[in-house]
């Protein structure tokens, strides 16, 4: 029996032959098989839809990646930190420098002890130095390479010759790099161009890292296959398949995670890079981006900085054996670190040279010669991260007046400072060694110290120590420790008095006698001398040199506290000062750097001279942006300042500062002042020679008591420093309107130079004593002779 519907039913799995009929056996029915065309009918539409969606997503993702790639390449491609340099050492016959100081300067600038022939090397034999300079581009012009013959005798250059190079009477060494102002990611680099690379460098790099660089379009399937085969044969990973473009994409945009997603993005970005930019631009960017090592928290990127970091010279001056080592570091900067693992680094370098010879890039004889050379790296990096953190802190604060922080961190500026590395080293050593002697470190509240040193005539900050540990980059006491200054206020009180020549001279008797003041609220203030003694009338110069408290307060009250404050303000004090009488004994908190600025006026005949830590700021190409010239303003009568200088010299010879001559030569003329606050909480000393002004503080951070005075705490630090720095003694120039007279200061009368107690003392013309005393012919030779000698 047939039915016209059977075929349709059969198509859906119905078979009439399998139906049960009477008397027939029951047989199993096999399931009908769907036709292949029917079974796959649903797959292709779904696949096409999924593919279309995937293409849309991929296209969108490519648009996003394209924006990321072009934004970085066409904007500020690199954030280059500002570089901070010390002042350059000027060499000439008669220059002030010791053997140890010259060697230290050379080593700080990355010079290597050697033959003195290769640029950046020197040879020393006793006091004779043969130095081969590298040259340097300063803000005011370029200093070419030279080979110098320098003889140092004592603390002076006794003979100076230019052996080769442009002749010159004065030569500036390239300045030591002392630090930088880094972006948040702490990447450091020196930007270079392809034209800066030595001959053979690019060929070597591409032979090792990407031999098909100029043929592929960002990814190289054949290179991946070749690397896979080589690694399979070696049984380990010995060769990478990434192109140089892929390495650049990974370094610029991606993390180092080893995931398929990251690898896919790397390939897509590589294609986009090759699409937008030519090969030379990609290669040049790679040269500046590649990671080559670590210096503390600072990462070393690019061959320009890598060359300086490992060899202490510019990349353009590298030889084959040197740049082969740098290229070898690309594979593993930590594993092949030549300072930590020299044997690994040497083997890696020689393998690269052997590869070059095998590829015909260099001749076999050239390869053998290069392989025989030592690594040639410097024992230490040519600079470390901020050698002098306290000084860099001062530089940053001065720069903040004119530059934005983001510009300092990313524009690659060159900042030329006034720091003198030799003087800085002497200051650090004086602080550390003296504090260790006064009180070994390790207690719950150890002694701390700060020191600021300036050039007396210019106000340039040549050294700054922020604490006992000069490498500690935390609390900077030189800039931020505001402590009462004690008797360091007294020279300003007496300066205010001496400007009124009709009322006060150096021989004017002032009362060293106790008194008390009762304020409106009933509070009583009763000053006293440190030793508790009272001496009656004493000459003003003795009251200052011996640091008596009672005369200083009496003179200050007679003038009026506001007048003393005006003197401070004229000399550069910008902070508010309390007008209470206690300020006359130093109840005025100041930082060491602020106090140094005020004492600069005393050291320079009454000039308001803001301290400078920066000379020039230039772009990375040497274009001048800012030049910080000397800025001075005469604000106080130089005649009155000269009188104060005289009394401060007396302080050093007869008064509270006389112990300094246990350390320094008796022939060195000095002027200074001690300062102590209650219970020895603050020990101060400020003083100057013919060349340098230095202010020193010693105390505890928690303001607890010490057993120190200005003479037993800060003065030994100051004196040890002064003893270790070559300099000239103070020899004040007598200003117009000042005359010297022989006087008996105890009687405030003119006398004969042969008389006992005769002193040669300066007076503002017309203010000398009117009275005269005679004597039977005795002489006061000792006092007279050294006072005369101070002004010869």
Q: Which residues are catalytic?
A: 209, 487
CA dihedral of 550, 556, 558, 564, whole degrees rounded to 10:
180
Residues contacting residue 781 through CB under 8 Å, at least 6 positions apart:
none
Q: Where are the alpha helices (DSSP H) in 540-693?
A: 540-545, 549-559, 561-570, 592-603, 638-653
Detail the DSSP E strand segments found in 228-384: 291-295, 298-301
Residue 618, CA distances (Å) to 141, 273, 315, 406, 662 in order = 12, 32, 21, 16, 45
Report whether 419 contacts 613 (CB < 8 A).
yes
Distance CA 168, CA 165 (A): 9
Instruction: Please name the helix (run of DSSP H) or strand (run of DSSP E) that holds residue 347, with its range, or none.
Output: helix 342-358
Angle, CA of 391, 397 and 402, to the nearest 5°: 130
145: phi then psi, degrees, rounded to nearest 5? -65, 140
Q: Which of 578, 574, 595 is nearest to 477 (CA)?
A: 595
Distance CA 459, CA 463 (A): 11
Relative to beta strand 483-484, strand 90-91 is unpaired
The pair of structure tokens assigned to 325 is: 């080592």
Instruction: Tell me if residue 265 falls in helix, strand or coil.
Output: helix
Q: Which helix (H) or strand (E) holds 743?
A: strand 738-744
Q: Given CA atoms 584, 589, 594, 596 in this order, what sign does their dihedral have?
A: positive
Query: Which pair of tokens denotes residue 630?
Result: 């000397």
Query: Distance between CA 202 and CA 488 in Å, rounded?
Result: 63
Give 725's contacts (C-beta < 8 A, 6+ positions apart): 422, 423, 426, 692
Q: Which residues of 101-112 are buried (b: 16+ CB within 10 A; e: fewer)?
A: bbbbbbbbbbbb
State phi, psi for 377 to the nearest 5 degrees. -80, 160
Q: Tell me the C-alpha to C-alpha distance, in Å, between residue 207 and each of 193, 237, 338, 626.
A: 19, 18, 22, 44
On whether the CB atoms of residues 725 and 426 are closer than 8 A, the answer is yes
- Asked whether the beta carbons of 247 and 263 are under 8 A apart, the reply is no
Instruction: Give residue for tokens 């070559």.
Output: 726
SS (HEC) of 677-735: CHHHCEEEEEEECCCEEEEEEEEECCCCCCCCCHHHHHHHHHHHHHHCCCCCCCCCCCC
User: How does DSSP assign 766-780, residue by residue?
Assistant: T-S-S-B---SS---
Q: How far apart are CA 597 and CA 190, in angstroms?
A: 36
Q: Is 116 left (phi over 0), alpha (psi -120 to 50) or beta?
A: left
Burial class (CB in 10 A: 0-12, 13-18, 19+), 154: exposed
């Amino acid at each position: 029996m047939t039915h016209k519907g059977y075929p349709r039913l059969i198509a859906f799995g119905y078979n009439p032959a399998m139906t049960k009929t009477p008397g027939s056996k029951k047989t199993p029915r096999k399931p009908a098989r769907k036709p292949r065309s029917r079974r796959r009918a649903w797959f292709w539409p779904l696949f096409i839809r999924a593919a279309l969606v995937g293409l849309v997503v991929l296209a969108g993702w490519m648009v996003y990646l394209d924006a990321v790639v072009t934004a970085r390449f066409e904007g500020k491609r690199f954030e280059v930190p500002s570089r901070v340099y010390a002042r350059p050492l000027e060499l000439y016959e008669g220059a002030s420098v010791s053997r140890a100081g010259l060697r230290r300067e050379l080593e700080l600038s990355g010079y290597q002890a050697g033959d003195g022939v290769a640029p950046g090397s020197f040879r020393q034999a006793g006091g004779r130095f043969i130095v081969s300079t590298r040259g340097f581009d300063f803000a005011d012009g370029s200093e070419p390479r030279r080979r110098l013959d320098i003889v140092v005798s004592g603390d002076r250059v006794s003979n100076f010759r230019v052996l080769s190079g442009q002749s010159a009477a004065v030569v500036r060494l390239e300045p030591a790099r002392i630090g930088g102002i880094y972006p948040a990611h702490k990447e450091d680099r020196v930007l270079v161009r392809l034209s800066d690379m030595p001959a053979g460098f690019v060929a070597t790099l591409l032979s090792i890292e990407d031999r098909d660089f100029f043929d592929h379009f960002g990814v190289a399937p054949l290179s991946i296959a070749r690397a896979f085969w080589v690694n399979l044969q070696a049984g380990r990973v010995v060769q990478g398949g990434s192109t140089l473009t892929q390495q650049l994409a990974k370094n610029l945009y991606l993390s180092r995670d080893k995931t398929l997603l990251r690898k896919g993005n790397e390939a897509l970005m590589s294609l986009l890079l090759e699409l937008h930019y030519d090969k030379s631009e990609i290669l040049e960017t790679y040269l500046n981006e590649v990671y080559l090592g670590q210096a503390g928290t600072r990462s070393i990127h690019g061959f320009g900085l890598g060359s300086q970091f490992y060899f202490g010279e510019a990349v353009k001056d590298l030889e084959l054996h040197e740049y082969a080592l740098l290229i070898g570091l690309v594979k593993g900067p930590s594993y092949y670190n030549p300072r930590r693992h020299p044997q690994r680094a040497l083997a890696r370098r020689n393998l690269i040279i052997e590869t070059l010879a095998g590829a015909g890039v260099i001749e076999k004889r050239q390869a053998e010669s290069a392989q025989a050379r030592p690594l040639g790296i410097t024992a230490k990096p040519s600079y470390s991260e901020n050698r002098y953190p306290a000084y860099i802190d001062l530089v940053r604060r001065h720069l903040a007046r004119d530059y934005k922080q983001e510009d300092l961190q990313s524009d690659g500026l060159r900042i030329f400072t006034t720091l003198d590395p030799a003087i800085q080293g002497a200051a650090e050593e004086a602080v550390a060694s003296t504090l260790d002697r006064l009180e070994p470190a390790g207690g719950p509240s150890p002694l701390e110290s700060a020191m600021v040193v300036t050039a007396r005539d210019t106000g340039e900050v040549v050294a700054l120590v922020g604490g006992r540990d000069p490498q500690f980059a935390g609390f900077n006491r030189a800039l931020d420790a505001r402590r009462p200054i004690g008797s360091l206020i007294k020279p300003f009180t007496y300066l205010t008095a001496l400007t009124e020549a009709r009322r006060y001279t150096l021989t004017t008797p002032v009362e060293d006698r106790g008194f008390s003041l009762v304020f409106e609220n009933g509070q009583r203030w009763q000053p006293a001398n440190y030793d508790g003694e009272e001496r009656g009338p004493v000459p003003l110069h003795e009251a200052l040199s011996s640091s008596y408290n009672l005369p200083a307060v009496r003179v200050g009250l007679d003038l009026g506290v506001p007048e003393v404050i005006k003197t401070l303000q004229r000399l550069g004090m910008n902070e508010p000062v309390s007008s209470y009488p206690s300020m006359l004994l130093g109840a005025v908190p100041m930082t060491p750097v602020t106090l140094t600025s005020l004492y600069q006026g005393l050291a320079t005949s009454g000039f308001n001279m803001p301290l400078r830590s920066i000379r020039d700021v230039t772009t990375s190409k040497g274009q001048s942006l800012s030049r910080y010239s000397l800025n001075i303003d005469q604000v106080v009568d130089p005649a009155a300042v000269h009188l104060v200088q005289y009394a401060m010299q007396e302080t050093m010879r007869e008064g509270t500062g006389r112990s300094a001559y246990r350390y320094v030569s008796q022939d060195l003329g000095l002027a200074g002042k001690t300062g102590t606050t209650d219970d020895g909480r603050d020990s101060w000393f400020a003083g100057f020679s013919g060349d340098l002004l230095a202010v020193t503080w010693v105390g505890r951070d928690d303001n607890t008591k010490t057993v120190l005075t200005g003479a037993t705490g800060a003065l030994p630090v100051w004196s040890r420093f002064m003893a270790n720095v070559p300099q000239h003694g103070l020899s004040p120039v007598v200003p117009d309107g000042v005359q010297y007279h022989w006087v008996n200061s105890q009687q405030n009368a003119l006398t004969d130079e042969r008389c006992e107690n005769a002193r040669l003392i300066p007076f503002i013309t017309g203010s000398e004593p009117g009275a005269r005393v005679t004597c039977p012919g005795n002489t006061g030779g000792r006092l007279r002779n050294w006072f005369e000698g101070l002004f010869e």
